[in-house]
Amino acid sequence: MRRYGEGMMFKRSNYNRHQLKKQVKGLFGRYKVAVIILVGVLIIYFYFYATKISYSSTESPSEISVEKLWDTADSGGWRPSSTPRSDWPPPSKDSNGFLVVRCNGGLNQQRTAICNAVLAARIMNATLVLPELDTNSYWHDDSGFQGIYDVDHFIKSLRYDVRIVESLPEIRKNGRTRKMKYFQIRPPRDALVSWYTTVALEKMKEHGAIYLTPFSHRLAEEIDNPEYQRLRCRVNYHALRFKPHIMQLSHSIVAKLRSQGHFMSIHLRFEKDMLSFAGCFDIFSPQEQKVLKKYRKDNFAEKKLVYSERRAIGKCPLTPEEVGLVLRAMGFENSTRIYLAAGELFGGERFMKPFRSMFPKLENHNTVDSSSELTDNTQGLVGSAVDYMVCLLSDIFMPTYDGPSNFANNLLGHRLYYGFRTNIRPDRKGLAPIFIKREEGQADGFEEAVRSVMMKTNFGGPHKRVSPESFYTNSWPECFCQVSGSNPADRCPPDNMMNILDDQYEREMANVTLKVDE
């Protein structure tokens, strides 16, 4: 018999356990929510803390070390090497004919064309006639290949790649001697290798010699054959050496500049042709705008260009003042010595005055040494060649407009091959809104914003080539190797005859550095 209250006690006990369980469950639920909230807060905190650290490490002014910029960029264990990595037989004795080209444009456009001409001759198993250089309409200079480059060195350096002669041979027929005739062709722009192995080669075999004109950008840059690309590098960085008097003038200028320590070179693209091409007129007077618009109409395709739109997306060359503002924001002192490689600046001294007030030690090849030797011998294409060498040998190089500028693009590629020497490449698109705000009176945080943009740029180390970057601007990785690379395809080739070029190049560059330092 159940005692009075037993059932009630059992029910109460059951009820108490249920309530306890319910309370514990409620507490646990609230605890669980609290933990989730706490973890979320911690995640958010650490995310923003890490972001802040990351922001500071990439964008704070202390992270742009001017002292480090005076040194070469980090190579990542890579070194320049254009030695063939696979079977590369010498040129055949049985040539398919003669290739003659006429390289148009300025000095550096012609330089690119020469590289393409050598490669085209190799592709067609042809004998290359020493390239013709266009009588430049801007410089009014008819120096020709023999007046600018060391011909003997050019032919000797490429003896394992192509056969080169200085002129077409003479033919004796019916008792008379005459120069061999050629068949003239206008090659398509950026022609594929297949065009040379079909159309061009067929005409060469038919006529014995072909003449390709004009020959600027007449061979595709991106070729899926690394050995062909390495040949371009052998031409560009080994075979194309300026004549001794140009090299001596360049070394003399560099020695004078470096006698007071480090120096920077700047390719200041603020000339009439570039400003007209870019369509950047509004900062000039009505009369100056008239000159620029006429030049554009006479030399470029008709196109409606709105200055404010062009400026906003970074299509305008940096003004001299903007160049000075970037350098000052990066931490360069006003005592920095700067060599200017530039043609005649459009707009005159009023545009240079703000830059000169920030960096008074500005030089060019005429002001470094006012003696008649330098002034008289640095005109025309020779002057452009001297500028090229001084910029190549400078501690830092800065192009202000590296879009369609052959000078800047070729130099960036050569300095990469010359041991990853530091380059400062302003991101015009990133800087444009910052400069526009400053002009509108919003100057707060200007220098921090400039540093933030510049920290994201490449200062001269190896980096992937992405279109529209040219092979002549960045020949990595085809023309580089690693001494002890983890990837067998990246390792430097074993010693052989062609490897002498790489070693010779390093010795030559070391000798150049020693000479200018002395």
Predicted confidence band at 59 (pLDDT cuts at 50, 70, 90)? very low
What tokens does 198 get?
């079909």
At 80 the three-state DSSP class reads strand
Per-residue pLDDT, 179? 84
DSSP result, 85-107: SS--PPPPSS---EEEEEE-SSH
Amino acid, res. 300: F
pLDDT tens column, 319-363: 999 999 999 999 999 999 999 997 788 988 899 999 999 999 999
Question: Can you list the alpha helix ranges (DSSP code H) found in 364-439?
Answer: 372-376, 380-393, 406-417, 428-439
Q: Are 158 and 498 in contact (CB under 8 A)?
A: no
Question: Which has more confidence, 388 or 172?
Answer: 388
Three-state secondary structure readout of 443-471: CCCHHHHHHHHHCCCCCCCCCCCCCCCCC
Q: Which residues contact 28 (CB under 8 A, 6 or more apart)?
A: none
| Domain segments of the chain as ranges | 98-238, 244-488
Distance, C-alpha 518 to centroid of its chain: 29
- Round to whole Å and give the CA distance between 13 and 18: 8
Does 116 score more than 80 pLDDT?
yes
Predicted confidence band at 26 (pLDDT cuts at 50, 70, 90)? low
Does 164 score more than 90 pLDDT?
yes
The mean pLDDT of 2-21, rounded to a whole number, is 43
Most confident of 16-30, 138-152, 180-194: 180-194
Per-residue pLDDT, 486? 82
pLDDT tens column, 236-276: 999 999 999 999 999 999 999 999 899 999 999 898 988 99
- Measuring CA to CA, which residue among 362, 316, 310 is closest to residue 341? 362
SS3 content of the chain, % helix, strand, coil (to 5): 50, 10, 40
User: pTM value?
Assistant: 0.82
- Measuring CA to CA, which residue among 470, 430, 468 is closest to residue 318? 430
CB atoms near residue 226 (< 10 Å): 15
Most confident of 19-28, 293-302, 412-421: 412-421
